[in-house]
Amino acid sequence: MQAHEMMIKEVFKVREKDSVRSVIKGFIEHRISGMPVVNDQDEMVGYVSDGDIMRHIGKHKDFYVDSLYTVTVVQGDQVEFDERIKKILDLHVMEVAKRKVIRVEWDVKSEDIAAILGKKQIKKLPVEQDGVLVGIISRGDVIRRTFASIL
């Protein structure tokens, strides 16, 4: 099976000039956790995920790691946190998005897609055909399409 046979063709994306607020609205409205960032020519220039936003929210000193498995949370000021969240919502998406995006061509085989998703520890993989974004594949898409016929 190839990428174009398992990808989701309806790709929700955000413009590079949009704010993080637009990203969050898209995540909520479409029940997704990541989306490509495109420029005015509809070329993919980045990718933003819920993890990127979580890392940005977490850039503060409200916790520290005691050991490999223990995290101690320092009681922070809720007002400071709320203000930080408001500031994050007004950032441009490219301030939190990844600029180097791992992507595949539409004819890549499913086992190669699974290897990329697993090795790179990413959840979604944009699919392009001749440099044009045509779809997206998630880990769940690979699992469903790979095992559906044998279960």
DSSP, collapsed to helix, strand or coil, labels residue 132 as strand
Residue type, 103: R
Q: Which two tokens stand for residue 127?
A: 């699919």
Residue 134, number of CB atoms within 10 A of its CB: 16
The tens digit of pLDDT for each residue in 27-39 reads: 999 999 999 999 9
3 state SS of 50: helix
CATH homologous superfamily of domain 3-147? CBS-domain (3.10.580.10)
Please give the mean pLDDT across all residues of the chain: 86
Beta strands in the chain (DSSP E): 14-15, 34-38, 44-49, 63-65, 71-73, 104-105, 124-129, 132-138
Q: Where along the chain do its domains lie?
A: 3-147
User: Using N-to-C axis directions, what is the helix angle for 110-120 and 139-147, rounded to 10°?
Assistant: 140
Q: What is the reported pLDDT for 35?
A: 94
At 105, is the secondary structure helix, strand, or coil?
A: strand
- Residue of higher predicted confidence among 146 and 72: 146
Percentage of the chain beyond pLDDT 70 is 85
pLDDT of residue 29: 95
Q: Which two tokens stand for residue 16?
A: 């590079």
CB 20 within 8 A of CB 88: yes
- Mean pLDDT calculated for residue range 56-66: 61
